[in-house]
Amino acid sequence: MKKLIKFLANSQSHFINLSRISIFVVMVWIGGLKVFQYEAEGIVPFVVHSPLMSFFYTKEVQEYQDYKNPEGKTVQKNVDWHKANNTYLFAYGLGAVIVLIGLLTLMGIWFDKIGMIGGLLTFGMSIVTLTFLITTPEVYVPNLGGDFPTPEYGFPYLSAAGRLVLKDIIMLAAGLICAADSAKRILYKERWA
């Protein structure tokens, strides 16, 4: 047990770098998927309800419900609606920003100031994402009128979308840990410069 404790205690900087790599993988993968139709359309419920992002779209809030493409299927009238809504254009821009944040965070392994910025941006992006728990109705199980005596819908029953959003609380903490580690290294170098 002592060997494990010593190993863990002496490996903290490696684990922080593993956090940077993990953030990079998640950001590049998810950001990269934003160029695909299904992913761009999948973020519409989050964006359309967000007071921080809804202005990027041109269509009315509830109108998107009628133009959902099931994952793996393309209906041309729905694609045309999403083009007119700026769905794809916004997703491309958002994807590029997400990939950039991942790269900046990863670069913290070698460049302290860049890594600090990346960690802070990861934290900020996670805050924005977590606001979807307040603004997006799709994050909670809808009332489908089941026969169960105590209906399980609404808060706190997270839907698949809600469970996906809630995981960003881990990204929030990891971003701060990476930023703090970079800041500590910056201060250490300044002290000995």
Q: What are phi and psi of 158, to 5 degrees?
A: -75, 135
- Asked if 47 and 90 count as a contact pair (C-beta separation under 8 A), the reply is yes
Q: What percent of the chain has pLDDT over 70?
A: 97
Share of the chain above pLDDT 90, in %: 75
Residue 87 vs residue 193, higher pLDDT: 87
Q: Give residue-wise pLDDT tens across range 28-80.
A: 999 999 999 989 999 999 999 999 999 999 987 778 888 988 877 889 999 99
Mean pLDDT across 128-136: 95
What residues contact 124, with CB distance under 8 A and at least 6 apart? 175
Q: Read off the pTM.
A: 0.90
Q: CA 156, CA 154: separation in Å to the nearest integer? A: 6
Rounded distance, CA 22 to CA 102, Å? 9
Upstream peptide bond of 45 is cis (omega within 30 degrees of 0)? no
C-alpha span between 45 and 61 (Å, rounded): 9
